[in-house]
Amino acid sequence: MQVPFLDLKSHHAPMLEEINCAIQQVIECGAFAGGPFVAQSEEDFANYNACGHAIGVGSGTEALWLALLASGVGPGDEVITVPSTFMATAEAITYCGARPVFVDVDERTYTMDPAALKNVLTVRTKAIIPVHLFGQPADMDPILEFARRHSLFVIEDACQAHGAEYKGRRAGTLGDAGCFSFYPGKNLGAFGEAGAVVTNNSELDGRIRILRDHGQVRSVLNCVLWRTETSYADLTRRTTIEHWPASKRLSLPLKQFSPVMFITFTRSGFKIGTRSFGSWAIKASAVEFIIPCPCTCKRLTAVWAMGQKTSRSRSAALQSLSHCPCSLS
């Protein structure tokens, strides 16, 4: 059975009429960047997250970048984050001219290990970016305490954690700012690229709004959110994040792999906060790949098992395939 990597068509189908209506309203209005639709969605997203401000931008990467710039991060500074994330987290740091400094994750949650922060702190450290990965919130209390003790900004990367909670508060609202992506494949997606920054700091809100649109306060960078994106994202928020039944959230199909993977995995049972259901992370204790012969004989060979069986079994399996009469011909 072929499982689609991302089936947005099925996702859109139940609300297609509403989507078309929202886009038609934007077309009839005739202003496609900024404006009342974006302002309304910013207000709605701020209310959804129970925070003071939400600023729409062009992507999750821009959200991180502008939040860092507005916090004063620049050349010569260091920002602590984790390597277990999408590349945009570190990329946004380098856009500011700063240097990403990595700490390891807690293997129980795949998120930042607060105990590791003290090992990388220097006089150049300006901020921390904890990543709420796969919808799992990072353990924010010790991270925030460490940041307060050393006068550091905390910019949350919540691009994969729309709707997740930590001790009764939404992910993205615990630090100085939280950054979200509305890429189509996210829990909350738009038609194309879009993002937002949320914050309870009015001064930070003002600086980000100035930065996102060439220095204009009302709307030095063109990172404004398009109306078509925000209209669709608002519909998605209202019809999926809070209203999907638990049974549907738990029946999201696993992606199909080729070659086939047989996975033995265990659950740690460790929980921090309330996850949002965007991606499923599997911690594998053993993985065996079944490789088909590259010719027409359809022969299958086990290639690699994680753990004690590593390169030796992989090498032996590949060697056995090389002796296949079909491949030699």
List, for residues 141-159, the tens digit of each pLDDT value: 999 999 999 999 999 999 9
Please tell me which residue, 201 or 24, carries the higher pLDDT value: 201
Contact 76, 97 (CB under 8 A): yes
Higher pLDDT, 299 or 149: 149
pLDDT at 247: 36
Q: What does the pLDDT look like over 181-237, one tens digit per residue? A: 998 888 788 877 889 999 999 999 999 999 988 777 654 344 555 444 555 455 454
CA-wise closest residue to 177 among 46, 77, 40, 34? 46
Check whether 319 has a pLDDT greater than 50.
yes
Q: Using an 8 Å Cβ cutoff, are 81 and 131 in contact?
A: yes
Instruction: Give the tens place of pLDDT for each residue, 99-132.
Output: 999 999 998 888 999 999 999 999 999 999 999 9
Place of tokens 């290990």: 113
Predicted local distance difference test score (pLDDT) of residue 146: 98
pTM confidence score: 0.75
Residue 290, strand partner residues:
260, 302
Domains with residue ranges and CATH for the chain: 8-241 (3.40.640.10), 260-328 (no CATH)
Given a cut of 90, whether residue 77 has pLDDT beyond it is: yes
Residue 46: which pLDDT band, with cuts at 50, 70 and 90? very high
Tokens of 85: 């994330």
pLDDT of residue 39: 86
Token duo for residue 15: 């609300």
> For position 218, what pLDDT does the model report?
53
- What rounded mean pLDDT belongs to the chain? 76
Report the candidate in 247, 199, 252, 193 with the shortest Cα–Cα distance to residue 224: 193
In this structure, how many other beta carbons lie within 10 angstroms of the beta carbon of residue 190? 26
- In this structure, the dihedral spanned by the alpha carbons of residues 54, 167, 277 and 226, taken in order and rounded to 10 degrees, is 0
Q: What is the pLDDT of residue 252?
A: 32
Tokens of 188: 């909350």
* CA–CA dist 273, 276 (Å, integer): 10
- Residue 143's pLDDT is what? 98
Q: What percent of the chain has pLDDT over 90?
A: 45
State the Cα–Cα distance between residues 184 and 240, nearest whole angstrom: 13
For residue 307, name the pLDDT band (cuts at 50, 70, 90): very low
Q: How many C-beta neighbours within 10 Å does residue 29 have? A: 12
Averaged over 168-175, what is the pLDDT? Answer: 95
- Residue bearing the bigger pLDDT, 284 or 118: 118
Residue 7: pLDDT band with limits 50, 70, 90: confident
Average pLDDT in the 241-269 region?
A: 38
Quick one: pLDDT at residue 38? 84
Is the pLDDT reported for residue 3 higher than 50?
yes
Would residue 117 be called left, alpha or beta, if left means φ above 0 and alpha means ψ between -120 and 50 degrees?
Answer: alpha
- Can you read off the two tokens belonging to residue 300? 């299958």
pLDDT score at 223? 54
Query: Rounded mean pLDDT of 286-315?
Result: 48
